[in-house]
Amino acid sequence: MIAYVTVGADDMARAERFYSAFLPALGYGLEEYHGDLSYSLPVEPGQSPMLPDFYVKKPFNGRPAVAGNGNMVAFEARSQSQVRDLHAAALAAGGSDEGQPGFRASYGANFYVGYLRDPQGNKIALYSSNPDEPGRDG
C-alpha cells in the first residue's frame, strides 16, 4: 500500500490553485503545514485513513523543484464527464494540457483518461474506468 505521494513545487500559491481545482471534487481535503500542502481523504471515526495522501512541498534540499521524467500521479474520477470537467478546471487553474480526455488504444476499453502538467511540470492523470459507462468500442 502506498502511504503518500509527494511532488515538488517552488510556488505554493500556484500549486494550491492548480490542485485545489480538482482534488476537492475527488474527496480530498486540504491542510497547510509549514507552508506545504497536504491533501488527504476524510477519515470516518473508528476507521483507518484512506491512502495515499498527496503532498506538495518545497524540496528539503533547498534547490529548485524539478519534475521527474517518467513520473506521473493518477487520480481516479467517478465518470468520464468528471474527468472532462476536472481536466478543464485544472487547465483553467494554471495547468497545461498533456493529452485531452479520451480513450487510449494502449489501455483497456473502459479506461478514459486526460493528462496534465501542474505549474511545476509534474505530470498528472485524471481517469475513470467505470464499467457502467460506454467504452471505447461502443
The pLDDT value recorded for residue 53 is 95
Going by C-beta distance under 8 Å and a sequence separation of 6 or more, which residues neighbour residue 38? 30, 31, 32, 53, 54, 55
Per-residue pLDDT tens digits of the chain, which is 138 residues long: 789 999 999 999 999 999 999 999 999 999 998 899 999 999 989 998 888 999 999 999 999 999 988 999 999 999 999 999 999 999 999 999 999 999 998 999 999 999 999 999 999 999 999 999 999 987
Assess contact for 121 and 67: CB atoms under 8 A: yes
Torsion sign (Cα): 63, 65, 68, 72: positive
Query: What pTM was estimated for this model as a whole?
Result: 0.91
